[in-house]
Homo-oligomer: A and B are copies of this chain.
Amino acid sequence: MELSKRVLSMQHSPIRRFNVFAFEAEKKGKRVYHLNIGQPDVETPPCFMEAIRNFDKKVIAYSESGGETVLQDAIINYFKGYDMDFERKNILITNGGSEALNMIFVSLLNPGDEVLIAEPFYTNYHTFVTQSAGKVVPLTTKAEEGYDFAKSDLIEAAITPKTKAICCISPGNPTGRVLSLEDMKLIGDIAKKHDLWIIADEVYREFAYDNRDATSFGMFPEYADRVVIVDSVSKRFSACGARVGCVVSKNQELMDAIMKLAQGRLCCPTLDQIGAAALYNLDKSYYDEVKAEYEGRRDVVYEELMKIPGVVCQKPGGAFYMTAKLPVESVEDFLIFLLKEFDDKGETVMFAPAEGFYGTPGLGKDEMRIAYVLNKEDMRRGVELIRLGLERYNAR
């Protein structure tokens, strides 16, 4: 009656591991600024709930395995806005971007197959790849270089006969790194040369700042047969709890394979899909508004971070995360100090230690990830608390 080796080799979420300390702090009356999770405070556009409230069928019936056509069509229309042409057969609706990633890895990986992912990376990639008995091969990037990974030597040195795919998230979690079209071309050409799949996690697509355009691997016809895009309403529309995402690809063999998995789990929730269709149909001006808000927050966080002596961080171009090196040996130890011992006027702060985002053991011990999911004033105070905490911590 043993469990599978696969599940035993997995970790619990390293992001949630410190929640117990935060919970204790809050129980004692401390206010904790939560910069540790990717749950934005931005309001979900009301059209989501409106569309759901107007649902008037008597039976909440199964949806199609590939998704509600009204949602597929809204997504097609959304991509048209970026001059990308997809058809319904190219779009399969999933339970969030998470299920999309899971299905992609199951469809691509044989046991031992390798996937290149720039580290630090979103920890759940490890969960999904392990579930498929594959292996994450990390491409190590550096705070000093703004976590850049679009470099031929870095990528090609990691390719082996077992390499099946390169997985790129842009704008990136946890670093905020954004790939330019030139970066994508460099990566695409390497993928073509070595016959690799390109898994493009683009759920933060619009959150690209400093006048950057929204980009996508779907903009390159020359890679269309090897590109599979992951999309989601979670971040773009601040609808994380809707759990609506999709797989997008013009490789029909892959889409047919993923359809088998989709049929196995029958379908995605009907109501959330109807709400999500309304979100994808929102006017593009919505993105400008949300982008301006996040860009403002990033500027505040960066400004405050730069006030801390010894911090290493390049201003990131997108998403709503920032990874930075702190002048401490162990960020985890510092975080526990912040939650257990420190307060300033009854307040303290929580971030995610970056060690859990690295695949290479030993890396990231002195790095943290901040999610700028609170309003500007709270973000400023949160980073100030990190600065004050560091002064106290290093003076001990």
Contact = CB atoms under 8 A, between A and B. Distances in A.
A52 B265 contact: no
16 contacts: A1-B196, A3-B257, A4-B132, A13-B65, A59-B238, A60-B240, A61-B241, A98-B264, A102-B264, A124-B263, A124-B264, A124-B266, A131-B261, A131-B264, A241-B267, A243-B266
Number of this chain's copies in the complex:
2
Contacts of A11: 260
A28 interface: no
A321 to B, nearest CB: 16
A286 interface: no
Nearest to A124: B264
Closest 5 CB pairs of A and B: A241-B270, A127-B264, A98-B265, A13-B263, A60-B241
Interface in A1-16: 1, 3-8, 10-13, 16
Contacts of A13: 65, 260, 263-264
A239 interface: yes
Interface string A45-64: 00011001101001111110
A277 to B, nearest CB: 15
A77 interface: no
A210 to B, nearest CB: 27
Contact of A265 (B49, B61, B99): B99
A44 interface: yes
Contacts of A102: 264-265
A65 B127 CA distance: 14
Interface stretch (A104-112, A145-153, A339-347, A359-367): A104-112
Contact of A59 (B1, B7, B40): B40
A264 to B, nearest CB: 3
Given A62-B39, A241-B61, A264-B131, A106 B4 contact: yes
A13 B260 CA distance: 7
A133 interface: yes
Contact of A52 (B3, B127, B268, B271): B271
A267 B238 contact: no
A253 interface: yes
B62 A44 contact: no
